[in-house]
Amino acid sequence: MSLVRTLRMIPSLSIATLTLFLLFFAPIRAFAQSDGLWRTYLYGNDVRDVVASGDDVYAATTGGLVRWTSDDYEQWNREPLGLLSDSLRTAVVDGGGNVWLGTERVGISIFTPDTRSFAPYTSLLEPIPGDRIRRLHIQTDDEGQEVLLVAAEQGYSSFVDGDLRSSCLEGVDICDLPSFDILDLALVGDELWIATADGLVVQHPDGSWTAVATPFDILVLATYEDALLAAGGGRVIRRTGDEWVEVGLGLPSAIVVNDFLPGEGSVLLAASGSQGGVFRWSDASGWARLGTDVFPATSVTVTESGLVVAGASDVGERLDGIWEWDGASWRQRKVPGPALRAFYRSLRMSQDGVLWFSTAERSRAPLVGSFDGASWVLRNGGQNGALGAWTFNTEQVGDEVFLAHCCCGEGDLNCMLESFVGDEYRTLEDVREIWTLDVDEQGFLWGATNHGDETRSKGVYRVDPTSRTFQLFGAADVGFPSNQITAIRVANGVAWVGTFDAGLVRWSFGSDGIPQGIGGDDVVTIYKSTGTLDRIASDSVRQIEIASDGRAWIGTTAGISIYESNGTFTNLGASSGLPNAEITALAVDQSGGAWVGTRDSGLTRLTPGASGVGYEYTTYRAPLLPNPNIEALALSLDERTVWCGTTRGLASFTPLRTVDAGSAEKAAPFPNPFVLGCTDGLRLSGGGGLLSGVVVDLDGRILSRFENVTPDDVIWDVTDGGEPAAPGLYIVRVQGPRDLESVGVAVLDGACSR
């Protein structure tokens, strides 16, 4: 019996006992969390498998686990001590209601709905055949025992009531398998049928093997009325005795069968392809489509109340999500959020607090979007008047949003400077191949070119957004060492220009503050990695940011160079504390520090040293981030939250602030103890200002999040999964004017005091 369960059996505990317990145990739970609030924003509609538990539906997606109820949804993503991976392939429910989730690369996560917790089940801990899971099945054998079947890329395992029955692991076991890449498994009577990448075999009760010839490659297996069903492509066959019988009557030809769900007297089939959807088999009439909707179904399940639910995966994203069949029509449901296209290229926080982003990835349609903290708006390139080109940067001037398009092929005319207001798009046809953008104090838009073909890079454009006129400044006009410009920032009459591999340029516009280039009184200084006091870390510049104190932070492929007020550079690299010297993203804050993305090495925070000399380095990696490779960073307007655009998804981090709280009263939850049913929720008093944080149980599960609350605001309705929280001990972790504070609260079930 666990400690938590023991405590919850006691209806009445003294405050002294609770206090002593919290003093000794609460800090362990609190410090097990990270030093701030992380959030992951991944696409939850690319569904690979669905499974029902009661009337709840669990969807295994490429963006984590999604639980659908009759009127709502909840999404879980990878995190420490939680879900092992966001890339899920398969899901099953055992007899105890636990959800088993097979991942692409890191084994199995077991989700327990009652405690909302995850447990790992990996090859490091259990006898499963590697961690690249393809399929999971739970069946009941002839003796009524629960059998777990695990198909993986390196073999298979079967378990009976939790005990290993048989397994075959590549490089370890000698088995008569045509291939160790197991596509699917099915238990038929006392025989285990195994579909491999190179053929079908059956394992007999005595452990012997028999290869079974098939009319086509088998990808999917199922047991129906004590017989084997098998599918490959759009064909379905059934094993009768020693022969195969085709059972494809009624199925269209242009499908790929992905899943079977056998039932009493019928089978449901999920198929993708141009004629995909869900089909039902009856012995009398063969296969018939459910409804008229055509969609790429990957899987199918049935809830306790009889609702048929299918999962779908659509490359175009329009038809994916889950589909519910009520007996008469289909209803599509989707998780609101970002797109499936998750290779983030740029992030920009607008002056009204809207996060603009773009994604660009080979073989994926261009995407630009925005998130205002509540709603996502997605704009697909090539649709509704938008250019069909990748966007590498965005910038907002007034109500107009400008898009930097770059790197089109020869003859492709889509890489023009583009802008939109509402749904109206415009282009500047003569401003092309823009890699990055900036806006100066006068409202001029600056665009830098960086095409892989150097002859198509022209230098820097200065655009008047109102008149739609522009000036072009190239190497011959200003003295740039190269026209391949990767970064530009303009402030206080100075343009900082970073090149692909030819160094850094500081271009001062002279006495009138108007850029003229060669022939005027502009001053152009070029900095190289071969200098002395003016040496930069590398000639390959990737990011530039100007701090509020006027210092220029230069991110290069070999570290950060900070241009100090005395005209010298401070260079920071791996030896200084960065996990990797190649800088991929940069954001500076008013504290004098910075947030840094480095190649495949996560997020690093540089905080000025306590003595005013040097920096303290804190690095955050996966699983806090969807991917360790950050391509873009942006700070919220109050600089409390940093947004991270990675090559796998979007995340935000709100660190715990450390400021002088003076004599601020310590935050405390009230009422404490909290008696269930006596008030509408838990609140906080004290703390010296607006407070943010989380409420967790003793297992570390987050039950509530709160941001910028006052003493009048409820921080937790004292429920767990929609039901009243169990009596016991909970932790309120508060982020406010003080450092992190962990405060205990007791939840009791008793009479309300008058």
Cross-strand bridge partners of residue 735: 692
What DSSP string describes 423-470? TEEEEEEEEE-EEEEEE-TT--EEEEE--SSGGG---EEEEETTTTEE
- Strand-by-strand arrangement of the 416-421 sheet: 391-397, 400-405, 416-421, 424-432
Please report the pLDDT score of residue 729 as a whole number: 85
C-alpha–C-alpha distance, residues 510 and 498, integer Å: 20
The pLDDT tens digits of the residues spanning 689-724 come to 677 888 988 777 889 988 878 777 899 999 998 899
Would the pLDDT of 657 be above 60? Answer: no
Average pLDDT on 413-437 reads 96
| 577 CB burial (10 A radius; 0-12, 13-18, 19+) | middle
Query: CB–CB of 488/544 below 8 Å?
Result: yes
The pLDDT tens digits of the residues spanning 160-196 come to 998 999 999 998 888 889 999 999 999 999 999 999 9
Please report the pLDDT score of residue 672 as a whole number: 87
| 215 CB burial (10 A radius; 0-12, 13-18, 19+) | exposed
- Pairing label, strands 209-212, 155-160: unpaired
Confidence band for 688, pLDDT divided at 50, 70 and 90:
low
425-430 long-range contacts (CB < 8 A, ≥24 apart) are: 425/384, 425/385, 425/386, 425/387, 427/387, 428/463, 428/468, 428/470, 430/470
C-alpha–C-alpha distance, residues 147 and 164, integer Å: 10
Going by C-alpha positions, the residue among 398, 391, 356 that lies closest to residue 377 is: 356
Indicate the average pLDDT of the chain. 90
Going by C-alpha positions, the residue among 313, 232, 367 that lies closest to residue 62 is: 313
Six-digit token string for 560: 């950060």
Please report the pLDDT score of residue 87 as a whole number: 97
C-alpha–C-alpha distance, residues 694 and 196, integer Å: 47
N-to-C CA span, the chain: 36
Confidence band for 338, pLDDT divided at 50, 70 and 90:
very high
Query: Domains in the chain and their CATH numbers?
Result: 3-30+660-748 (2.60.40), 214-334 (2.130.10.10), 344-575 (2.130.10.10)
DSSP-derived letter for residue 353 is S
Going by C-alpha positions, the residue among 108, 201, 129 that lies closest to residue 171 is: 129
C-alpha–C-alpha distance, residues 45 and 338, integer Å: 10
Query: CB–CB of 282/290 below 8 Å?
Result: no
Half-sphere exposure of 659 (CA within 13 A, CB side): 13
- Helix (H) / strand (E) element for 27: namely helix 15-31
Average pLDDT on 669-675 reads 89
Cite the beta strand spans of 42-105 per DSSP E: 47-53, 56-61, 64-68, 73-76, 88-93, 99-103
Per the document, the length of the chain is 754
What is the helix, strand, coil percentage profile of the chain, to 5? Answer: 5, 50, 50
Query: CB–CB of 376/337 below 8 Å?
Result: yes
